[in-house]
């Protein structure tokens, strides 16, 4: 499908160029770094978004995605866009919670645990997040949730007592804090690197979706997935604000339209992918199921603590976001 769209986009670009007598010099290509593997649904949505913009602008603005952290590693993508090294890219925004605590709104344990609640939370957060990003020279295009986050281990875990001293792969401050609270040892590793980290014992556990576990074939090293449904973090596609302001209105309209479609498509794919990936983990021999009551109860206590900590670090802005979420 993507290939076909790309071919269509290229054909459109050529015919539009011929029809308008445009010169090659007037067409522009934007490279779009993405952190996750090409086969992941976020990357598939990104590729469709890119084809949509390319086709919609008749090739005047072509977008070329670079998945798997191949152009910039996940942790570098936001800065690369802010500083104009690239004009557009995708990033897990909660990875930057240490810059601004508000970025962690989607990684608060047990605040929004279903797709419907995640959508409600996003509706409440979109306005404030757009402002924060604008102040960082970024224009927000769209955001897509990961499926809910569960705990991966290489042994049976029934309580926090069983987790002591385990090396835990983290991807943002919330995941590192969860490790700390449970007596584990957090080590920050990008998804692109985790298969190797698990194989070499640098990490022995993580919290993530079935989707990332499936992408990285974690059954080669890990054995248990507890579907604790902690939160649904989001990936964001952002444009450098100066580059955005430099586009003419019709190009901006195409991008905005393609972003709306991408957000819908991304939501749908995330929901569809959840069951498939959890089934795949089980099909490869992993235990996939809920956590026991003791463990789930202990995690909920950490969740309450982390919610209080987040509210403390975000102050009035965080409280306003939660109030808007609860009012919906
Ligand atoms: N996968 C990403 C973020 C959340 C998820 O499900 C990761 O593990 O890096």
Per-residue pLDDT of 224-243, as tens digits, reads 999 999 999 999 999 999 99
Give the pLDDT of residue 26: 64
Q: Ligand 1 centroid to 142 CA: how many Å?
A: 17
Q: Which of 1-5, 122-126, 146-150, 173-177 has the least mean pLDDT? A: 1-5
Q: pLDDT per residue over 47-83, tens digit each? A: 999 999 999 999 999 999 999 999 999 999 999 999 9
Q: pLDDT tens-digit profile of 102-122?
A: 999 999 999 999 999 999 999
Q: How far is the CA of 1 from the centre of ligand 1 (A)?
A: 25
Q: Would the pLDDT of 16 be above 50?
A: no
Output helix, strand, coil percentages for the chain, rounded to the nearest 5.
55, 15, 25
Q: Which residue minimizes the CA distance to atom 7 of ligand 1?
A: 191
Q: How close is the Cα of 26 to the center of ligand 1, in Å?
A: 38
The 10 Å CB-count burial string (b at 16+, else e) for 206-228 is: bbbbbbbbbbbbbbebbebbbbb
**To 10 degrees, the CA torsion angle through 109, 305, 136, 138?**
10
- 182's tokens: 């449970």
The answer to whether 133 touches 102, Cβ cutoff 8 Å, is no
For residues 244-273, average pLDDT: 97
Give the number of other CB atoms < 10 A from CB of residue 324. 16
Give me the pLDDT at residue 22, please: 43
Nearest residue (by CA) to ligand 1, atom 8, is 208
Ligand 1, from 103, 115, 146: best to mutate by most atoms within 8 Å of Cβ? 146
- The yes/no answer on whether domain 3-146+233-275 falls in CATH 3.40.190.170 is yes
Decide if 247 contacts 60 (C-beta within 8 A): no
pLDDT tens, residue by residue, 270-297 = 999 999 999 999 999 999 999 999 999 9
| Residue in 298, 321, 296 with CA at minimum distance from that of residue 310 | 321
Structure tokens that stand for 184 in this block: 């584990």
Chain segment 141-172, per-residue pLDDT in tens: 999 999 999 999 999 999 999 999 999 999 99
Domain spans of the chain, in order of start? 3-146+233-275, 150-230+284-327
Ligand 1 midpoint to CA 93 (Å)? 11
SS3 144: strand
* Sheet of 287-289, strands arranged across: 185-188, 167-170, 205-208, 150-153, 224-226, 287-289
pLDDT at position 4 over 60: no
Q: Among the atoms of ligand 1, which is closest to the Cα of residue 146?
A: 6
Q: Which one-letter DSSP state was computed for residue 66?
A: E
How far is ligand 1, taken at its centre, from the CA of residue 216, in Å?
11
Kindly report the average pLDDT of the chain as a whole number.
93
Q: Which of 113, 171, 270, 281 to mutate for ligand 1's pocket (most ligand atoms within 8 Å of CB)?
A: 171
Domain pair 3-146+233-275 / 150-230+284-327, same fold: yes
What is the pTM (predicted TM-score) of this model? 0.91
Cβ < 6 A, ligand 1 pocket: 92, 146, 171, 191, 208-209, 211-212, 233
Gap between the Cα atoms of 98 and 210, Å rounded: 26
Q: Which atom of ligand 1 is nearest to the CA of 208?
A: 6
Q: Which atom of ligand 1 is nearest to the CA of 171?
A: 9
CATH architecture under which domain 150-230+284-327 falls: 3-Layer(aba) Sandwich (3.40)
Mutate to test the pocket of ligand 1, among 208, 216, 277 (most ligand atoms within 8 A of CB): 208
């Amino acid at each position: 499908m993507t290939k076909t769209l790309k071919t269509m986009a290229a054909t459109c670009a050529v015919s539009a160029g011929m029809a308008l007598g445009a010169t090659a010099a007037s067409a522009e290509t934007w490279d779009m770094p993405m952190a996750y593997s090409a086969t992941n649904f976020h990357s598939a949505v990104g590729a469709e978004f890119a084809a949509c913009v390319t086709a919609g602008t008749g090739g005047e603005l072509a977008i070329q995605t670079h998945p798997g952290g191949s152009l910039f590693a996940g942790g570098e993508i936001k800065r690369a866009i802010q500083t104009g090294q690239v004009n557009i890219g995708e990033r897990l925004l909660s990875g930057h919670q240490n810059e601004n605590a508000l970025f962690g709104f989607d990684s608060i344990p047990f605040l929004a645990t279903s797709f419907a609640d995640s959508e409600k939370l996003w509706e409440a957060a979109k306005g404030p997040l757009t402002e924060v990003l604008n102040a960082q020279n970024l224009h927000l295009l769209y955001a897509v949730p990961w499926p809910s986050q569960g705990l991966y281990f290489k042994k049976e875990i029934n309580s926090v007592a069983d987790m002591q001293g385990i090396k835990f792969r983290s991807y943002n401050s919330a995941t590192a804090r969860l490790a700390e609270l449970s007596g584990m040892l957090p080590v920050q590793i990008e998804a692109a690197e985790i298969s190797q980290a698990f194989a070499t014992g640098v990490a022995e556990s993580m919290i993530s979706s079935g989707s990332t576990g499936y992408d990285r074939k974690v059954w080669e090293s890990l054995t248990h997935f507890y579907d604790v449904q902690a939160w649904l973090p989001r990936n964001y596609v952002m444009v450098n604000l100066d580059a955005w302001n430099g586009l003419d209105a019709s190009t901006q309209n195409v991008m905005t339209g393609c972003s709306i479609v991408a957000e819908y498509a991304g939501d749908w794919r995330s929901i569809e992918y959840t069951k498939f990936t959890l089934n795949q983990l089980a099909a490869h021999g992993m235990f996939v199921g809920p956590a026991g009551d003791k463990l789930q109860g202990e995690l909920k206590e950490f969740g309450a603590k982390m919610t209080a900590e987040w509210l403390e670090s975000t102050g009035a802005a965080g409280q306003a976001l939660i109030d808007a979420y609860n009012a919906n």
